[in-house]
């Protein structure tokens, strides 16, 4: 990547040397004093900067301070003939990337600039990624207009910056981690890390080490000190998924962390401080687990400061068309099939299915059906086959089998189109002859 490099020095010979040495690799912008440097910075927005300490009008340290306040990501290398260490320390504290003392080797300068360019590129990628994540986890990207989802989003908006623990409850596949990420990326901790850990996916003997880290030699195989998830998430958000599966003896240590904001690594004696926002999630009924002696009630009350209950998909069937359209939009881009859609009759079948796997299962059905379909319109037969493959005799939300659903859909479509056979057949995505055959089959007059 070719970068704009601002070089500031009051010696014309030095500027000419930089032009000859660096002009082929960088777009050079020059300035001869501190005031001009700030004007060039404002007008050209360079990515890298070589800045002499001793300058007319404004010295380099003052210029560095102003520039870092305006753009903390600006990568600045200070240059001076003064060997005073205190000046170097002051520059580094203000955010200078490095410090060169004249005279210096041009090859060394080029090496420093390459490293500085890599740092700028990494910073830009991180900034772009964070921006993309904030867009992905904006509230308007959480799909759902049903009453239950509106209540969920209203609760989420109220807890963003309250810093209290949140417990997200819901069946598997309802989007608990999506809600946790939305809380993080819309809060004041969004610039820090979001660390997710599935407590149920880690072997029991390793959970404590994963959460709190361990010291070298703490147990067989601990060949080096390891950070835990609490340490990784410091100043950010820690998402504890499937918290209901956490071992009872570990629950006491987690409770202490929540109360005292401190812990020790496994095998360690040093007490570490932590500043994390806790979002926990589970599909279990924790009140039953408490009654059975499997979950601590004091930990439950500490985690359950703000509960967020995600409704299962079968209770928000009005959101299914919105979710299907979202998944189809992704597939249109992925498969290059701009006309891909689901017929009205197929959509009705999707709406009436009971979806034990919730949103995750719906996404799987839409994706697999679209990929296997040779036509751009996904019809009811394809959906029926895919739903039937999910398990033996799948029940629908209404308790009807697929034939019964098909009969209801036909009756409803005919009613909505004032018994017009031609129009009803078009809506259903079938021919008039096929519609008449099905009407005869189901006894629809």
CATH topology match: 4-132 vs 137-311: yes
Parallel, antiparallel, or unpaired for β 237-241 and 194-198?
parallel
**Domain boundaries in the chain?**
4-132, 137-311, 315-441
CATH class of 4-132: alpha beta
For the purposes of burial, counting CB atoms within 10 Å of the CB of 380, is it exposed (0-12), middle (13-18) or buried (19 or more)? buried
pLDDT of residue 390: 72
Q: Is the pLDDT confidence value at 276 over 70?
A: yes
Per-residue b or e along 419-441, where b marks 16 or more CB atoms closer than 10 Å to that residue's CB: eeeeebbbbbbbeeeebeebbee
**C-alpha dist (Å) from residue 58 to 48, 53, 64, 80, 94:** 19, 9, 10, 15, 16
The CATH classification number of 137-311 equals 3.40.50.300
pLDDT of residue 113: 82
Average of per-residue pLDDT across 383-389: 81
pLDDT of residue 392: 42
Q: Is the CB of residue 328 less than 8 Å from the CB of residue 340?
A: yes
Split at pLDDT 50, 70, 90, the class of 79 is confident
Q: Which helix (H) or strand (E) holds 249?
A: helix 248-260
Split at pLDDT 50, 70, 90, the class of 393 is very low
Fold of 315-441: Helicase, Ruva Protein; domain 3 (1.10.8)
Q: Is the pLDDT confidence value at 115 over 90?
A: no
Report residue 278: phi and psi, to 5°: -100, 125
- Of 9-23, 158-172, 348-362, the one with minimum mean pLDDT is 9-23
pLDDT in tens, 19-65: 888 888 888 888 888 888 899 888 888 888 888 888 888 888 888 88
Report residue 198: phi and psi, to 5°: -95, 105
pLDDT in tens, 169-204: 999 999 999 899 989 988 889 888 999 999 998 988
Per-residue b or e along 105-122, where b marks 16 or more CB atoms closer than 10 Å to that residue's CB: eeeebeebbeebbeebee
pLDDT in tens, 123-142: 666 555 554 444 444 555 67
pLDDT of residue 396: 41
Higher pLDDT, 69 or 124: 69
pLDDT of residue 327: 92
- Of 111-125, 348-362, 391-405, the one with minimum mean pLDDT is 391-405
Q: Is the pLDDT confidence value at 258 over 60?
A: yes
Q: Tokens in use for 347?
A: 């959509």
Report residue 341: phi and psi, to 5°: -155, 170
């Amino acid at each position: 990547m070719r970068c704009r490099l601002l070089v500031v020095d009051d010696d014309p010979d030095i500027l000419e040397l930089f032009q000859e040495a660096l002009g082929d690799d960088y777009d050079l912008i020059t300035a001869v004093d501190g005031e001009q440097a700030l004007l060039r910075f404002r007008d050209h927005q360079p990515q890298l900067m070589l800045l002499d300490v001793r300058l007319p009008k404004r010295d380099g340290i003052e210029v560095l301070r102003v520039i870092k306040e305006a753009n903390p990501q600006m990568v600045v290398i200070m240059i001076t003939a003064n060997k005073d260490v205190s000046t170097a320390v002051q520059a580094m504290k203000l955010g200078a990337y490095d410090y060169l003392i004249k005279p210096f080797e041009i090859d060394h300068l080029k090496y420093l600039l390459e490293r500085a360019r890599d740092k700028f590129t990494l910073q830009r990628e991180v900034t772009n990624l964070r921006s993309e994540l904030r867009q992905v986890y904006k509230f308007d990207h959480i799909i759902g207009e049903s009453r239950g989802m509106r209540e969920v989003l209203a609760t989420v908006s109220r807890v963003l910056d309250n810093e209290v623990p949140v417990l997200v409850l819901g069946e598997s596949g309802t989007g608990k981690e999506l809600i946790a990420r939305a809380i993080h990326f819309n809060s004041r901790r969004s610039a820090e890390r979001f660390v997710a850990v599935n407590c149920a996916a880690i072997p029991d003997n390793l959970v404590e080490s994963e959460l709190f880290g361990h010291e070298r030699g703490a147990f067989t195989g601990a060949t080096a000190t390891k950070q835990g998830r609490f340490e990784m998430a410091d100043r950010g958000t820690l998402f504890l998924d499937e918290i209901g599966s956490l071992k009872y003896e570990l629950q006491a240590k987690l409770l202490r962390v929540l109360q005292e904001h401190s812990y020790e690594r496994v095998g360690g004696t040093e007490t570490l401080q932590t500043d994390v926002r806790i979002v926990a999630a589970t599909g279990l009924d924790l009140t039953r687990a408490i009654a059975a002696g499997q979950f601590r009630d004091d930990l439950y009350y500490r985690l359950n400061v703000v509960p967020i209950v995600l409704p299962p998909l079968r209770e928000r069937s009005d959101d299914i068309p919105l979710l299907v359209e979202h998944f189809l939009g992704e597939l249109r881009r992925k498969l290059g099939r701009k006309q891909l859609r689901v017929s009205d009759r197929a959509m009705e079948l999707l709406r009436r299915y009971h979806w034990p796997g919730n949103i995750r299962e719906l996404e799987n059905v839409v994706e697999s059906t679209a990929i296997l379909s040779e036509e751009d319109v996904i019809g009811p037969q394809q959906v029926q086959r895919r739903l039937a493959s999910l398990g033996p005799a799948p029940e629908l939300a209404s308790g009807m089998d697929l034939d019964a659903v098909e009969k209801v859909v036909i009756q409803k479509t005919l009613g909505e189109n004032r018994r017009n056979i031609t129009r009803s057949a078009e809506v259903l995505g079938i021919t008039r002859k096929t519609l008449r055959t099905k009407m005869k089959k189901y006894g629809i007059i």
